[in-house]
Structure 1
């Protein structure tokens, strides 16, 4: 009898647990079937996650703080010219966007975007970021809510001028010759990504179908959008869908760079260069005709931040990352001595010349000597005098390099001792019109 009673109690307990799970699921999905009891049940069900968040907030440094390594604690600053950078970081109940002169360490201008404003439009996580930040005339600035719906323009007093919530915007942001913005994005439904579905022999998988977007910088209105699947399909390049190192995110578009120079033998003004991390490829695309003009592959992997150098040259940040997240069938191997090791010790910046279809690393010795490497993200800016600014995203170190060595090495100092801020796609200027 005792065994039967225990079994009956187990079944009843299991039923109650299933019933509770169903109630919590329905409430989480926005249903209000329980009327006035909905809110109390939701609050109670969120207690474990809220307790965990509180623990992380008070006892664990958020992810936007990076522990400063011993070798990165001392700055190097040999700048002889003004070098300005705009960047953002989380500060208490809001985000700060700063414009800094790295030569003098002076904060030239600060903007602030309260978390309370963002929560009116979407849920804000503890480790959410704003990036990149692009300076406008009249001391305005444009920022994107990373992986959340929202591209926002602030005026000089941090008032919101416009807020485009049409898409989830992400990664790089660049101005074209008309002053409008090109950036990656993805469709969403109330903040949840709307995927495409790939079907192969009856098996289906959802995947992120990134968009290239053109936004009016004055009004925030979406001027142009085009999905990558349609671009690849219309140009007979759908086999690229099978090459992505992560099947649910086959493209991972991280930069849309418009050509600003006059039309040349190799590209037209208005063309855009598209950087795909998970394809380790760059495409030259012509929005006016919908044609892919060139596919560029080479000695680079998981690259970011493609830029046009002149009318026959582009450059890119080569993360030089080994794909480690792919899943393989398991095989039994005989124990190996491991005589050959693949070890990535540095990223680099590559110059690609259309004329010769060739690549050349810029200041390679400095990347090797200083072990400058970031597995993900990362960017650069080729300065007018030939110096090279580099954001080493992983360890959060900012560099300026040239053939003679290190001109600048610094971190974004934080309010937490022993830590510095994660750099969020620093935008670099050698001149500001203030």
Structure 2
């Protein structure tokens, strides 16, 4: 083949032109990223939108593959996996255990059920005002988006809120007085309380997320955010906070985590010394990721009634906070990793849902040692024992509940499955909540609660 010098030169020129064009786009994109939102022109915004396309496509495939867009899991054909309420053949399963859980039911309908796990008998149903909640979420999304673009807040919270009714999570439901129901709507939103007839009693003024727990006085302890905290704005991260509401939804206490740690000389240890998680959807630093606030209901050897145990996922840390004097009594990072859901086992031991996930990448893809487990920490000798190794794995969520029979109910949230494990570490049974229009698939768990029916009362299992 004869070498054509002129043609080769033309190809080289085009390649060089393409190289400089691409280099110019990269340079302009970097400048656009470095600018503040209000200083970006149309070209800057267009370049940032184009740059986000690959990550958007990746996220879309991730959502589609997990079913979380509409909270549906495709279940495998594992032997012994049954639907909720179809476990009558499990001889040793307690006849009086009820699950309090949410299920989406199509269009704008969703309900919370208190249902017998073994027989399927429904003791009570609350119909959730999904349309009202969706309107609240859309209003919140517009507000936080406007605040972010105006640099009033430094994190892009609006990108993390659901876009349709099917995606709304009715999370961490718990029964209050007179069969009232308390819950919130997922990653960030308001708390709601319904009466036993499903009429709305109140909606909180504050934004909440993750766990809901009641103390002995009927007060509600939960996780919140302090969007305008000065340090969080300066360093561009999400500031989590502990919030306490009374039974009427009025704010009683509010503790910013950064203030709490600063007042106890721990800000460097629990904020500055370890990196914040940086999500791929823009400036979203989440250094604490508070996911559980557990009020202590009785004195123990190492805690007092009124203390709070806090779970900080992104620090792999458990903190014992004493609101009476504002002191941090104890804290420990690890050996649990990215943990959730603290329980008090006895007067000197706590248990933790140990997700056991490495933070080596933003998607926390590496579960250590083949699975998650329950970590039991003994304050007396500072030892940790592990329970349930190899039986379940949940990357970013999970719950564990002790029963009166010394079994543990595990919510494998990221897989749509529940397991009862006896004290010897044997899985006694496993089940799922059937999806409304495809019973062979599972409804995504939303931090369900376990209750024991005693006479006419339903007693929360913790």
Q: Smaller-chain TM-score range?
A: 0.7 to 0.9
> Unaligned stretches of 5+ in structure 2?
1-36, 39-59, 139-161, 279-284
Secondary structure at the counterpart of residue 121 of structure 1? helix
Residue matched to 1:211: 241
Residue matched to 1:139: 179
Contact 2:357 2:368 in 1 (8 A): no
Residue matched to 2:288: 251
Contact 1:194 1:208 in 2 (8 A): no
Q: State the alpha-carbon separation in 1 of the partners of residues 321 and 68 from structure 2.
A: 42
Contact 1:182 1:256 in 2 (8 A): yes
1:155 aligns with 2:172: no
TM-score by length of 2: 0.71
2:163 corresponds, among 116, 125, 140, to 125
Counterparts in 2 of 1:35-434, with a 5 A limit? 62-71=69-78, 74-75=81-82, 77-78=90-91, 79-92=93-106, 93-123=108-138, 125-126=163-164, 127-166=167-206, 168-187=207-226, 193-194=227-228, 197=231, 205-217=235-247, 219-239=248-268, 240-242=270-272, 243-246=274-277, 248-261=285-298, 263-325=299-361, 344-362=369-387, 364=388, 367-368=389-390, 370=391, 372-402=392-422, 403=424, 405-417=426-438, 418-431=440-453, 433=457
What is the aligned-residue RMSD (CA, Å)? 2.7
Quickly say closer, same or farther: Cα 1:157–1:284, change in 2 above 3 A. Answer: same
Runs of 4+, deviation exceeding 3 Å: 60-63, 193-199, 341-344
Contact 1:244 1:278 in 2 (8 A): no
**What is the CA distance between 1:63 and its match in structure 2?**
3.4
Quickly say closer, same or farther: Cα 1:349–1:61, change in 2 above 3 A. Answer: closer
Contact 1:139 1:156 in 2 (8 A): yes
Quickly say closer, same or farther: Cα 1:89–1:72, change in 2 above 3 A. Answer: farther
Corresponding pairs, count: 351
**What is the CA distance between 1:61 and its match in structure 2?**
8.0
Contact 1:130 1:424 in 2 (8 A): yes
Contact 1:72 1:410 in 2 (8 A): no
Secondary structure at the counterpart of residue 262 of structure 2? helix
Residue matched to 2:48: none
**What is the CA distance between 1:81 and its match in structure 2?**
3.2
Quickly say closer, same or farther: Cα 1:256–1:182, change in 2 above 3 A. Answer: same
Question: Relative to total residues, which structure has the larger helix share, 1 or 2?
Answer: 2
**Residues 361-393 of structure 1: per-residue CA shift (max 9 Å, x gap):** 23x3xx42x3x0000110100112211110001
Contact 2:356 2:367 in 1 (8 A): no
Contact 1:245 1:326 in 2 (8 A): no
Secondary structure at the counterpart of residue 173 of structure 1? strand
Q: State the alpha-carbon separation in 2 of the partners of residues 145 and 180 from structure 1.
A: 19
Quickly say closer, same or farther: Cα 1:176–1:210, change in 2 above 3 A. Answer: same
**Residues 272-306 of structure 1: per-residue CA shift (max 9 Å, x gap):** 00000000010000011110000123321000001
Quickly say closer, same or farther: Cα 1:198–1:139, change in 2 above 3 A. Answer: closer
Q: State the alpha-carbon separation in 1 of the partners of residues 203 and 230 from structure 2.
A: 26
> Unaligned stretches of 5+ in structure 1?
1-24, 27-52, 188-192, 328-340
Secondary structure at the counterpart of residue 170 of structure 1? strand
